Amino acid sequence: MLQLAAWAWIRSLGDLSLHMDGLWLALVPMLVGYGLAAWLLLVEGGSIAYAMRIICAVAVCSRLLLLDTTPSLSDDIYRYVWDAHVQAAGLNPYARAPDDDALIGLRTEDWSKINHKELVTVYPPVAQWFFLAVQRFVPGVTGMKGALVLCDLLLFFVLWRWLLARGQDGRRLLLYAWHPLPVLEIAGNGHVDILGVLGLCVALLWLHQGRHHAATWALSAAVLSKLIPILCAAAFWQHLGGTHSGSWQRALDPRPRVVLLWIPGLVLAAYLLFADAGAPMWTGLSAYASKWRFNDSAFGLVYTLISDPKPGWEWDDGALRSARWLCLAAVAVVMTTLALRRKADPAALCATVLGMQLLLAPTVHPWYLLWVLPFTALHASSAWMAFSWLVLLAYHVLGDFRSTGVWHESSWIRGLEYLPVYLLLAGAPLWRRLQSARRNTSATAASAE
């Protein structure tokens, strides 16, 4: 009841960007209820069937409370609806930006709400086909949100099956289902990331079951929904090679990984279907990759160390480009290291590479944590769990922007958001050693008896 009461309060606030204090206030009892429920269900135990019914009922009701509300923390969904509208008219969504005069006849009352109307869409082909399918059956913002919530609910089932296949307690689903992030970002704001997250989790479930071809098809679909899960190819490479104990040749042997060729093949084939857009097809993605910056952490430190802006300039463009390449190289190193690890859990590897990418990225919106959150149901990672809650602090910038018209990120808010995450990551190895020493001590004492 504590969870649902908090969501009912959030619903009553209306435009959340104007009521950030109310949102923070509601998150406090939500965190208490979340922690208490996790302790009662996962530590105290009880009837599994009854617990699963409670978990799913509260999770579904939470999402329904926000389903018909107007998105107020992000306007991305208006781009989804626009892309669908363009495709329904028989046009290529990658060919022209929304403000192109050739598309004036397609403009609706929501056209003014589209962000960066001067840029061509950045969303990959599977996302575009998803938008078009929604447009055919349930057009509009609420229909798009409803379809994305359906993906979210399907993820419940996938996570539950995955937990059982791994021999884990299915009630751990609560750690995802009751978390406020998917409720706010999918039911509330409607982000397509959940489509890619669903594809990635299906791929990892099938990989666990030994269905390697199907797993790579699902991973390809995830990449074509949002490009970020391409990083998880490292986990697939590691798993498909077996344990490769004691042999670097086996660790690098491409033969057991031939199935991964599906990924570049399917991605290329999907984009070729839109190739008639020509060069403009990549302009939106290029602008995002080269110019966007928001709520960064390690990237900001790298930039600060190498930047030397000209007098009167706010930014050092050359340093920004260099920082992007350096952080991208660091992500590549993480991927390579994980791909060559032995006897590692693919889910843990995916969580690590996705989480580290967020720490090195120049842009970290709160909904980006949707990529890491499902893995907290499989592995107890205090750092990523803390990050998934603290990232909501990034929304403080909206409150200031709506009241003053100035987009200003607070350094102390960012420190409050990231410092606990880095401390928890740094302390994790020490905690594991202490736990291992404790277990060894207990085992020695037991054998002595």
Q: What pLDDT sits at residue 134? A: 96
> Alpha helices of 43-140 — where are they, by DSSP H?
48-67, 76-88, 125-137
d(C-alpha 180, C-alpha 12), whole Å = 16
d(C-alpha 172, C-alpha 93), whole Å = 40
Residue 186 contacts residue 63 (beta carbons within 8 Å): yes
Q: What pLDDT sits at residue 33? A: 87
Q: What is the pLDDT tens value at each position of the chain, 449 positions in all? A: 778 999 999 999 999 988 888 999 999 999 988 888 888 776 666 667 778 888 999 999 999 999 999 999 999 999 999 999 999 999 999 999 999 999 999 999 999 999 999 999 999 999 999 999 999 999 999 999 999 999 999 999 999 999 999 999 999 999 999 999 999 999 999 999 999 999 999 999 999 999 999 999 999 999 999 999 999 999 999 888 865 545 666 667 778 889 999 999 999 999 999 999 988 899 998 888 888 899 999 999 999 898 877 665 667 778 888 999 999 999 999 888 877 777 778 999 999 999 999 999 999 999 999 999 999 999 878 999 999 999 999 998 887 777 777 778 888 999 999 999 999 999 877 766 776 656 555 555 555 55
The token pair that represents 398 in the structure block = 């909206």
Host H or E run for residue 21: helix 20-42
Residue 161 contacts residue 20 (beta carbons within 8 Å): no
Q: What pLDDT sits at residue 128? A: 97
Q: Which residues pair with 363 in a beta bridge?
A: 294
Write a three-state SS string for 92-119.
CCCCCCCCCHHHHHHCCCCHHHCCCCCC
d(C-alpha 61, C-alpha 1), whole Å = 11
DSSP state, residue 186: I
d(C-alpha 285, C-alpha 288), whole Å = 5
Q: Which of 36, 52, 50, 116 is nearest to 83 (CA)?
A: 116
d(C-alpha 92, C-alpha 214), whole Å = 29
Q: What pLDDT sits at residue 398? A: 86
Q: What pLDDT sits at residue 334? A: 87
Please report the sign of the dihedral spanned by the C-alpha atoms of residue 54, residue 198, residue 228, residue 281: negative
47 Ramachandran zone, left/alpha/beta (phi>0; psi -120 to 50): beta
Residue 236 contacts residue 216 (beta carbons within 8 Å): yes
The token pair that represents 368 in the structure block = 């980006």
d(C-alpha 26, C-alpha 166), whole Å = 35
Q: What pLDDT sits at residue 319? A: 86
Please report, for residues 83, 103, 122, the alpha-carbon distance to residue 96 in angstroms, rounded to integers and kept in the order given. 10, 8, 12
Which residue is listed with tokens 């071809």? 213
Which residue is listed with tokens 């998934």? 388
The token pair that represents 185 in the structure block = 């970002």
Count Cβ atoms below 10 Å from residue 34 Cβ, excluding itself.
20
Q: Which of 14, 104, 137, 122 is nearest to 68 (CA)?
A: 14
**What is the residue type of 153?**
L
Where in the chain are the domains? Answer: 2-448
**What is the residue type of 37?**
A
Which residue is listed with tokens 């907290």? 376
Q: What pLDDT sits at residue 371? A: 97
Residue 384 contacts residue 351 (beta carbons within 8 Å): yes
Q: What pLDDT sits at residue 130? A: 97
Residue 220 half-sphere exposure toward CB, CA atoms < 13 A? 19
Residue 354 contacts residue 372 (beta carbons within 8 Å): yes
The token pair that represents 279 in the structure block = 């060069």
3-state SS, residue 294: strand
Q: What pLDDT sits at residue 308? A: 79
